[in-house]
Each structure stands twice: as C-alpha cells, then as structure tokens.
Amino acid sequence: MNIVKKAKKYCLSIIDESDDIFSLVTHLPEAEKWAEKICDLRPEADREVVLLTVWLHDVSHYVGDRDTDHAVRSEKMAKEFLEKNQYDPKKLPMVLHGVRSHRNRDVAPETIEAKIFACADSASHMTDIAYLLMMQTGRFEYLAGKLERDFRDVNFFPEIHKMLSPVYRSWKELAKNYKALHLIEKVKPKSEFGFN
C-alpha cells in the first residue's frame, strides 16, 4: 500500500472511532478534490506531499487536548505516523509544514505544497455543507468571518480566487436571505464544524 493510501486509512480509522461523519463524508474528500485540481494547475508541486497533507491535516480534530490548536496537534500526530512508516526524511518536513500552516494563522504556508493545501482546504469549505450547517445553527457572525478568511486564502492561487468569486458572492447572498427567515435554532450539531 502506498503512503497516501496508508495515511487515508489512518485518518479514516481515527474518524471512525470518533463517529464524526461530517469529515468522513464531506470535508476530506472535498479537500482532496481541490488539492488534485490545484496540483494539476501546478505540476511542479510534489503531489504526494500535498495528498499526505490532505489526509493528515485534521487528524487531531477527533482526539487529544482541544485547548491546543488542532494544527499543532495534527503536526505531532503526522510526524509520528510518517516516522513509523519510514517516510522519506527529506519530504517529511514538507508535509509537516503543510499540516502546521494549513490554517494560515500563526504559521503561514511558505512552500508551494503548503500553499496548495491551504488553498484547497479553504476552497473545500466553499463547496461543502459547512456554511449551511452554520446557518442552520444561527452562527451567522462566525460564518461571515470564516467565509472572508476562506476567500482570502484561496487567493494563494489567483485563478482559484477568480473561479470561486461567484460562489463567494452566492454564499453571502444565501446567508443574508437565510438570516432574514428568522428560523429558530432548535438543534445544535454534535460537532462545532470548525474546519479550516
């Protein structure tokens, strides 16, 4: 089994234990689709590194101390996984940097692979159900900030930013119209759906 398949299996086994089906069903496959698409546009990037980042970046959402940033916790888990599987020591830091910088907060993506993944992760939020779930639970302020951060981070690749501009405008419009319905929040989802 190649290392990407192993990482996917490892990630899915952790999600399975946590019964968090949101990521299993939507976020990670969506992030994978975007990662593949952007890698097609940037053939100079190491696709294996990007795909390993897809499957390892959020592994700690489901385990460990939730007070620590999941990018930090995922980096630690990714390192353990990659070392255990004797991954190429030259490429290992490239994956870890992608995992650690995927939120583009305290650590910014510096390599092309990390930029591809940060872009793919944000783009995947814009074509996923996460924003809709935020609307359904009345988290409009959080959604507004998240949408802006995601749209900012897809700009690592201007063609992706351009491609997603109509989608960005549509989400803004939908959120405004949904909010105007004044639906009463009755059920909160189990997960906070704070994927980024």
Chain contacts with Fe ion (rule: CB under 5 A): 58, 121, 195
Please name the helix (run of DSSP H) or strand (run of DSSP E) that holds residue 74, with its range, or none: helix 70-84
Tokens matching residue 21: 């089906």
DSSP code for 25: I
Smallest gap from residue 2 Cβ to Fe ion (A): 22
Residue (48 or 121) nearer to Fe ion, CB: 121
Residue (62 or 140) nearer to Fe ion, CB: 62
Smallest gap from residue 27 Cβ to Fe ion (A): 6
Q: How many angstroms separate the first and last alpha carbons of the chain?
A: 28
Residue (113 or 121) nearer to Fe ion, CB: 121
Smallest gap from residue 69 Cβ to Fe ion (A): 9
DSSP code for 186: -
Residue (26 or 137) nearer to Fe ion, CB: 26
Nearest-CA neighbor of 34 among 150, 131, 169? 150
Residue (88 or 106) nearer to Fe ion, CB: 106
Q: Give dist(CA 74, CA 81) in Å, integer.
A: 10
Smallest gap from residue 43 Cβ to Fe ion (A): 24
Tokens matching residue 97: 């940097």
Smallest gap from residue 185 Cβ to Fe ion (A): 25
What would you measure as the largest C-alpha separation in the chain, in angstroms?
54
